[in-house]
């Protein structure tokens, strides 16, 4: 100590030496203390690549358990309430059918009778009488089993121009629909053919070969002239 004090008081160099010596002493003391009392720091752990830290591994091994699901009753399904309507249910109503309508009543045929003058388009026809004959004459006879229906007719004209007439303009039909043509021969005086001026007449007999049981005869007269404008005249013979 006395030496140190001497150095301190001996000048500048002495002070430096004292400071250096002090520092060296402090370092020695620190080294001794470090040796005697080593540090208790935890040894560093070396983590392998891919390994989990201890705490993370524990967490991964024992993951937190989710709370158990409870049997909570599901809410009932929502019901859609539709507004009630008073719509009637469709019925199996049959569709209306096209009921056939009865045909319109036909006009009464323009049919005259024996002894009545019938006129159409200026032509006048009259049946004066009707009878049946077994033969026209001794040379002209009907087919066996048939007879002749003979009609006495008159044809007149009220037209301004001449009116043709002919025995072939006559037709006969019975109630079964069978038609008959005039025979080329008839009892005299037979009906001829020609032209009638206005106000003139022609008369004669017509003959038709018919079955003996035929009935309901209607005689029709119509001049067969193109563009003549003639209309049929019908007369019921009452046979």
Tell me: the pLDDT tens digits for 55-114?
A: 443 344 444 554 454 455 555 555 555 555 565 555 566 565 666 565 544 444 579 999
> CA angle, 198 as apex, 192 and 204 as ends, to 5°?
20
What pLDDT score was predicted for residue 49? 46
Distance CA 132, CA 98 (A): 52
pTM, two decimal places: 0.54
Q: Assess contact for 118 and 110: CB atoms under 8 A.
A: yes
What pLDDT score was predicted for residue 71? 56
Closest CA to 238 of 124, 130, 125, 119: 130
Give me the residues of the chain with pLDDT under 50, please. Answer: 4, 7-8, 42-63, 66-67, 69-70, 104-108
What Rg value do the Cα atoms of the chain yield, rounded?
A: 75
């Amino acid at each position: 100590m006395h030496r140190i004090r001497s150095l301190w008081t001996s000048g500048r160099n002495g002070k430096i030496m004292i400071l250096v010596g002090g520092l060296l002493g402090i370092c020695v003391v620190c080294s001794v203390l470090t040796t005697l009392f080593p540090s208790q720091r935890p040894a560093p752990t070396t983590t392998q690549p891919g390994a989990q830290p201890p705490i993370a591994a524990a967490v991964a091994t024992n993951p937190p358990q989710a709370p158990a699901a409870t049997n909570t009753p599901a809410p009932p399904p929502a019901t859609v309430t539709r507004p009630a309507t008073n719509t009637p249910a469709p019925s199996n109503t049959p569709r209306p059918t096209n009921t056939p309508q009865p045909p319109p009543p036909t006009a009464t045929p323009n049919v005259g009778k024996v002894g009545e003058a019938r006129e159409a388009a200026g032509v006048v026809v009259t049946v004066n009488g009707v009878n049946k004959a077994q033969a026209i004459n001794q040379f002209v006879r009907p087919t066996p089993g048939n007879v002749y229906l003979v009609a006495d007719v008159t044809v007149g004209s009220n037209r301004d121009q001449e009116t043709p007439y002919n025995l072939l303009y006559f037709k006969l039909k019975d109630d079964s629909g069978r038609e008959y043509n005039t025979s080329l021969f008839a009892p005299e005086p037979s009906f001829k053919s020609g032209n009638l001026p206005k106000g003139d007449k022609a008369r004669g007999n017509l003959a038709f070969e018919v079955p003996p049981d035929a009935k309901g005869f209607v005689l029709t007269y119509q001049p067969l002239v193109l563009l003549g404008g003639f209309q049929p005249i019908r007369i019921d013979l009452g046979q």
